[in-house]
Chain A
Amino acid sequence: MKVLWALLATVVAVAAQTTIDRWFSNNAIDLVLVVVVYNALSTGRVGGMLTGSFAGLVQDTLSGGVIGMAGLSKTVVGFGAGIVGTQFIVTHSASRFVVFFLATVVNAAIFMGLYELLGLRHFGTPVVAVAGQGLGNAVVGVLAFKGVEVLPGAVERRRMARSGLRR
């Protein structure tokens, strides 16, 4: 069931990314990376790694780049975030924010580093762009966790309120 959710979340993230990128093409958010890190923190290193691998490959095939570049970078990020999620207590918003931000930096370093190393693409000095994307991803990631945590409680409270009214 978890695998299905991860697949569905990845497909939705890719669809959303290809839609928002039409209007906000400023590298501000990588929704696919947010899903990978979210899944890694929720399920652990194997879940994170497999989600990262799948999501990265889908991104590669849809972006026109070398297939495997985003796959590799997101595999490493997913695995790393999974280790962080299991070895450290990452339940506070601030710590999650840092994980999402660092995951973006590591992802960019591997992705851009590989392209530069192979001489296939030049990124100039992407420090500001990567930092901006890191902040964007971190905000979206933290909000996603908050939303998922708040939602069951809200549903439960509503159910309790309804049952209270009936009595």
Chain B
Amino acid sequence: MAILDVRLRAGYLFLAVVIAHLVLISAQVNARTGVPILETVTFGAFAEVQRGTSAVLNGFRGAWTGYIALRNVRTENEALRQELANAQVEIQRQRALADRTRSLETILGLSNSIDLQTAAAQIIGAAASPDFRTVTIDKGSAHQLRADMAVLAPTGVVGRVVIAGPRASRVQLLVDRNAAAGALIERSRAQGVVVGAGDDRLRLDYVSETSDVAVGDKVVTSGIDGIYPKGFVIGVVDSVDKNGVAYRSIGIRPAVDFSTLEDVLVVLTPAPAEQAGAEKP
């Protein structure tokens, strides 16, 4: 019988597998309302593998940095002491400035709008496919994390939570092709949308022709997307390409070095729009 022929069977099997994949893709593309259960379950299970791999790797790194690579520690220590002394002076200066701002806020009747509640998390893995820019962090819904929460680093904006598993979450980095954030130029207050370029670069789109944008301008979050709190650093403009009066492309160098990122902060405070919605009767 022809169907028992090994060559034909392989062909039928191939056809069946391809059709199964196409059906799977079609089902998701037609109904992309939420996160598929399969994805959540697989992600939750593999997050534990990533946690284990990360723990083993961190153990080796700890042993290396803690015992073997201790050369030049004395010089580094001296430099750090100096840096600490400088930082302490800077803290004093900032504290004085904050006190002054607080008193001015009181005078003007403004409330402190950047009182954010955050949770620290450690990165335990990256995306399984090099075409996606996501990372896995070791905190999940058990730690009050939810989808669409902003993720920050001390140097700037990292991304947002896209899936919150029980003990781990997936974070879409701002440099991912599908990531975007409302942004503004700190100097001129020109508004736009920062989008990921897929590599380690960002792009500022939808900037008005009349806006003033120059190389070296700092780009911060505008807060209009309802995910990222206002005023956090995204990066610095490093290229402006103009076609007549219109901006053809504005390139941004991210403030965060995504390749060396290890610890992040997840903003637990709901975005202002969400909070306002929840307060409604």
Residues of A within 8 A of B (CB): 11, 14-15, 17-30, 32, 45-46, 49-50, 53, 58-72, 75-76, 79, 111-112, 114, 118, 120-124, 129, 133
Contact = CB atoms under 8 A, between A and B. Distances in A.
A75 B28 contact: no
A64 B25 CA distance: 13
Contacts of A60: 129
A61 B45 CA distance: 11
Interface stretch (B35-43, B65-73, B238-246): B35-43
B126 interface: yes
A23 B258 CA distance: 8
A125 to B, nearest CB: 11
11 contacts: A18-B125, A18-B128, A18-B136, A19-B54, A21-B130, A22-B126, A23-B259, A61-B46, A67-B24, A75-B17, A111-B131
Contact of B128 (A17, A25, A28): A17
Contact of B42 (A29, A50, A61): A61
Contact of B162 (A28, A59, A64, A68): A64
B254 to A, nearest CB: 12
Nearest to B195: A122
A21 B14 CA distance: 31
A125 B22 CA distance: 25
Q: Which applies to chain B's interface (DSSP): helix, strand, loop or mixed? A: mixed
B259 A27 contact: no
A20 to B, nearest CB: 8
A68 B57 CA distance: 30
Given A68-B24, A71-B24, A76-B18, A27 B130 contact: yes
Nearest to A71: B21
Interface of B: 10, 13-14, 17-18, 21-22, 24-25, 28-29, 36, 38-39, 42-43, 46, 49-50, 53-54, 57, 123, 125-136, 162-163, 170, 172, 177-178, 197-200, 258-261
Contacts of B42: 58, 61-62
